[in-house]
Structure 1
């Protein structure tokens, strides 16, 4: 059940982050200062990291509330260990809950993969802009839609 919730939260979060990036990106031109471009990238990456921290918190709260792990700190630590598939923590779940770790790991693998695909898309846009700046001419399409603002 929580796996589905995490996937839904991630999808909604990715959508919001991507929409904000797109709204900011359409205002970028070849003459936009590098610091503004770097700030946009940093804010986008920070938003993605915050999304992952929120998702791990969504896992940790019910584990703590159900008493599976008695402290919220240890619950969050366990989830972070599992979500990142590191799995080297010294916290062990009771036998009846031990499959929870691999399920959390599946959610982490899936959401990190999804995040990576968004970052590839974003970096492709930056690459187009960098190529256009390096070329310095107006005849190259910078996006699939041939956005005139980036020409």
Structure 2
């Protein structure tokens, strides 16, 4: 049991670092968008583009984390091909838990470790996207106080 946790720990640390990089990039890009409204007029479509960029960056970060776990599964000899390892990783990371592909008893505990990693990282991604939406609502209200709810 301890062997599986210690084996997964470096990938877990890598995932935290990847998430931090993608959160930072998303928030920096979004802050740049908000701070430079003169370059492009602020319209509904500019909001849609900004939020879409944040969402896509966060999804890309999560996908790269799934890919990192899949590489670990291949290195451990759990799967013969990358596509199966990636599928299993995505099922674990997203906490779906289909159970159609099961790892060997020796490394089976890596599944819940990856699931814990995934649910935490999806939570962080959701928080970043929610923060961007709330910021856009505040910006809209400040720009157009007539449309603000009572």
| TM range, smaller chain | 0.7 to 0.9
> Which aligned pairs between 1:20-31 and structure 2 lie closer than 5 A?
20-28=29-37
Unaligned runs of 5+ in 2: 1-9
* Residue 131 of structure 1, CA deviation: 1.7
1:105 aligns with 2:118: no
User: Pick from 110, 115, 122: which aligns with 2:132?
Assistant: 122
Kindly tell me the number of residue pairs found equivalent between the two proteins: 137
SS at match of 2:106: helix
User: Pick from 16, 21, 31: which aligns with 1:12?
Assistant: 21
Tell me which of the two structures has the higher relative contact order, counting C-alpha pairs closer than 8 angstroms and 6 or more residues apart: 2
* Residue 133 of structure 1, CA deviation: 4.0
1:37 aligns with 2:47: yes
Between the aligned partners of 1:17 and 1:10, the Cα distance in structure 2 is 10
Contact 2:26–2:53, Cα closer than 8 Å, also in 1:
no
- The answer for the alignment partner of 1:85 in structure 2 is 95
* Residue 132 of structure 1, CA deviation: 2.7
- The answer for the alignment partner of 1:54 in structure 2 is 64
Show CA shifts across 1:24-57 (max 9, x none): 121237x612111211111111111111111110
Between the aligned partners of 1:5 and 1:65, the Cα distance in structure 2 is 16
Show CA shifts across 1:81-125 (max 9, x none): 000100014111011010010000011011111112112211111
Unaligned runs of 5+ in 1: 138-151
* Cα RMSD for the two superposed structures: 2.0
SS at match of 2:36: coil
Between the aligned partners of 1:89 and 1:64, the Cα distance in structure 2 is 18
- The answer for the alignment partner of 1:135 in structure 2 is 145
